[in-house]
Amino acid sequence: NAGVTQTPKFRILKIGQSMTLQCTQDMNHNYMYWYRQDPGMGLKLIYYSVGAGITDKGEVPNGYNVSRSTTEDFPLRLELAAPSQTSVYFCASSSQGGLYNEQFFGPGTRLTVL
């Protein structure tokens, strides 16, 4: 049981390049989330999903896209990278059911856009 895994761990992009951050969970959670964390700040929600085929915007969705074709995977796409997207990106999942609804976090992807 690996929990939430993210790839890559680190990435440097040039302005205007695109990339996909991968996120996979093996806990059969319906709910998945993408956050970004800037230095010295808390977590800001980019997008979330309540199940396969259903996604919705969070606080800071501009410049990102997501898809959720399976329960396990929730990739985050950056189409035209900008320096403002330099951040650490965390994927999380939760069951949202019953009494326990904590989020489980992946190890994060540190992205630098130059």
Partner 1 sequence: EDKVVQSPLSLVVHEGDTVTLNCSYEVTNFRSLLWYKQEKKAPTFLFMLTSSGIEKKSGRLSSILDKKELFSILNITATQTGDSAIYLCAVHSSGTYKYIFGTGTRLKVLA
* Residues within the interface to partner 1 (CB under 8 A): 31, 33, 35, 40-45, 48, 50, 58, 90, 96, 100-108
Considering the complex, state which of residue 18 and residue 96 has its C-beta at the smaller distance from partner 1.
96
- What's the min distance (Å) between Cβ of 105 and partner 1? 4
Considering the complex, state which of residue 54 and residue 80 has its C-beta at the smaller distance from partner 1.
54
Considering the complex, state which of residue 11 and residue 44 has its C-beta at the smaller distance from partner 1.
44
Distance CA 6, CA 56 (A): 20
Q: Residue 47 — left, alpha, or beta (φ > 0 → left; ψ -120 to 50 → alpha)? A: beta
- What's the min distance (Å) between Cβ of 15 and partner 1? 27
- What's the min distance (Å) between Cβ of 13 and partner 1? 21
User: DSSP state, 15?
Assistant: T
- What's the min distance (Å) between Cβ of 42 and partner 1? 4
* Cis, bond preceding 8 (omega within 30 deg of 0): yes
Considering the complex, state which of residue 17 and residue 88 has its C-beta at the smaller distance from partner 1.
88
HEC string of 31-96 equals EEEEEEECCCCCEEEEEEEEECCEEEECCCCCCEEECCCCCCECCEEECCCCHHHCEEEEEEEECC
